[in-house]
Amino acid sequence: MAETTMTPADAPKKRSTKKKIDDAVMAATASAETAAETAKGRFSKAIEDAKAGAEALKGEALEKGAAYKAKVSGTTSDWVDEAKVYAGQAKEKGAALAVEGKTRASDALGTLGKTISETAATIDEKLGVQYGDYARSAARSIQETAAKLEAKDLGELGDDVKEFVRKSPGVAIGVAAIAGFAIARLLSGGSDD
């Protein structure tokens, strides 16, 4: 490779290029400073507008709160009476749903026990009589539990639940979490939306 040497004629070109670069850097710096000042000014204006909006909302909220307070103070007994009616309706609906849930649970347990009992013969053939006996025993236990559940009223079930929670709080929390998940799935229609 041949080395290039700078001639005295090339020096002004180099200075001219360096001058252009310096000018471009200074122009870019000035432009950036101007943009920063503009952004700072806009940000300050936005903060001022937000403060003014917040003050206006605060005033409006205080006015509405005072009006609501005046309205409610005169009709508190009406609201209490209406709330009692709704509470009574909710209690009745809850009791009806609890009875329906108890019936469904006992029916499901009975069906599960029957299904296990019916498959015990197949289990005997496939895995052996010992495992079939386990299945029959499990089926009897499930069917007995279903019968006990059906025979108890809601008050007795509530007492049983309280006793279970007192004896096994960790298991109760796990069961409640699973039941909550199942109820949520039922209410959402079982979709994965």
Q: For the chain, what percent of residues have pLDDT higher than 70?
A: 74
The DSSP annotation for 160-184 comes to HHHHHHHH-HHHHHHHHHHHHHHHH
Could you report the per-residue pLDDT of 21-80, keeping only the tens digit for each?
777 667 666 666 666 666 666 666 767 777 777 787 788 888 888 777 776 665 556 667
Q: Which single residue is written with the structure tokens 């001639």?
A: 7
Output the average pLDDT for the chain.
74
Q: Is the pTM of this model over 0.85?
A: no
Alpha carbons within 13 A on the beta-carbon side of 192: 0
174: exposed, middle or buried (Cβ count in 10 Å: 0-12, 13-18, 19+): exposed
Whether 136 and 117 have beta carbons less than 8 Å apart is answered as yes
Confidence label for 136 from pLDDT (cuts 50, 70 and 90)? confident
